[in-house]
Structure 1
């Protein structure tokens, strides 16, 4: 019995162009699948928030209890513990919104019939990272003034000839490296995870339908890996949302570092 794959149909592995899925129009102004998912998640999140908070009670129901649990995680474990008890409150709405929005969009990668993680399109995490960048930049300038903000980039006590080099390095880190790494960390993990899911699902389907002999049996572990990685993606979805707001809090906290 032969174990070769039929040449009738060649297997095409998933790649980056598969994530560009225009539904209406073409080019840069096309309405894509990821846009639709983001809109649906945003509307759904807003509706859930309004329904749950419409009738708040001292003894919470299940919906209020779960929402308060997520809010408490963001408020206390991240906002208060990292930014500090004196300054964290104005940033809690931002952190809570970012966490829930990123988490739900990440989970869309494994929830039928959507099965498309919005954050696997780099434009979305970039927009969120730029929003965080504007927040900590404005907070730093408001707190110290533009001159004090720039001066604070260089530690005191350095030799005068080192100061220009350190200033440029810190400026690049603050203005470029941070938003870029914040973007790429979220984008890269969600993109790579979804590529793996597609690879196991499409590869298993191809082996089952087009494989000959024993190769059809190889589709079974491929589908099992797809199920395993789908469960693993739930953890990754949560961790990436958590890490994003954790780093955002760390950047904001540096504005108030002299008070700690």
Structure 2
């Protein structure tokens, strides 16, 4: 919730805690299908995304209507500015479905952090960022093996043009940076941006609630700047939601490009 005052109404300010990201179960508690608030937000985000794309593509025509035009414009943004820009038309066409899926899935789950009554990003708990990073990693490995076969790992770990004696130093660094740090940094970059954004919004609006509802006298006026900061951070969080989806997708395309290039 965006309310920092406890349900007991003790009148004290309670800042957000890490427990914001570990809410109690709502449905099916104690079963493998247990759902909490964040899981429901994720399901809502995915369902909304699927419905919007279905509405925009259910009646495809040569001369597109408004819904079809919007969907095509969004897909063209990923196809032209990410897939084809980095991978070329041939390879871009191959990988644009997975790149578009990653982008719109992240965007849908990020934007829930500023939607009333949802108020938390589906990517603010590590599960989704990890899964998406694994997908990106698997696609990167697949692209490299598809292009270079078994030589992919040799090319990645033993760059050409380096004196053999330096491989003792270079190969462990390449292994760490290419096969370990890439999925880790993809996960942490997305996760921490969404966590930080949620905490800032909760802090601002919790303080606003506290000052307007519980503070006495002139102290209540402090609710005005906290509300203003909350609205500003909301706009900023929308920008971050889009930017993080784009960066994750762009880096995935960069990794694919590196995997299918002639030299690494």
TM-score by length of 1: 0.91
| Alignment check: 8 A CA contact 1:84 1:253 kept | no
Q: Is contact 1:102–1:241 with CA below 8 Å preserved after alignment?
A: yes
SS at structure 2 position matched to 1:152? helix
In structure 2, list runs of 5 or more residues that go unmatched.
1-9
**Residue 115 of structure 1: SS of its match in structure 2?**
coil
> Which structure 2 residues correspond to residues 238-253 of structure 1 after superposition, within 5 A?
238-253=242-257
1:46-85 map, 5 Å: 46-85=50-89
User: Residue 18 of structure 2 aligns with which residue?
Assistant: 16
Which residue of structure 2 aligns with residue 5 of structure 1? none
Alignment of 1:109-258 (within 5 A): 109-146=113-150, 148-153=151-156, 154-258=158-262
Q: Which moved more, 1:77-86 or 1:19-28?
A: 19-28
Q: Secondary structure at the match of 2:229?
A: helix
Instruction: Compute the RMSD of aligned alpha carbons.
Output: 1.9
Q: Distance in 2 between matches of 1:50 and 1:70?
A: 14
Q: Secondary structure of 1:10's match?
A: coil
Q: Structure 1 residues 53, 144: closer, same or farther in 2, change over 3 A?
A: same
- Report the Cα distance in structure 2 between the residues aligned to 1:39 and 1:239, rounded to whole angstroms: 22
The alignment covers a number of residue pairs equal to: 252
TM-score, L = length of structure 2? 0.90
Residues 225-244 of structure 1, C-alpha deviation per residue, up to 9 Å, x if partnerless?
11111112111111111111
**CA contact under 8 A between 1:99 and 1:245: conserved in structure 2?**
yes
Unaligned runs of at least 5 residues, structure 1: 1-7
**Contact 1:78-1:246 within 8 A present in 2 as well:** yes
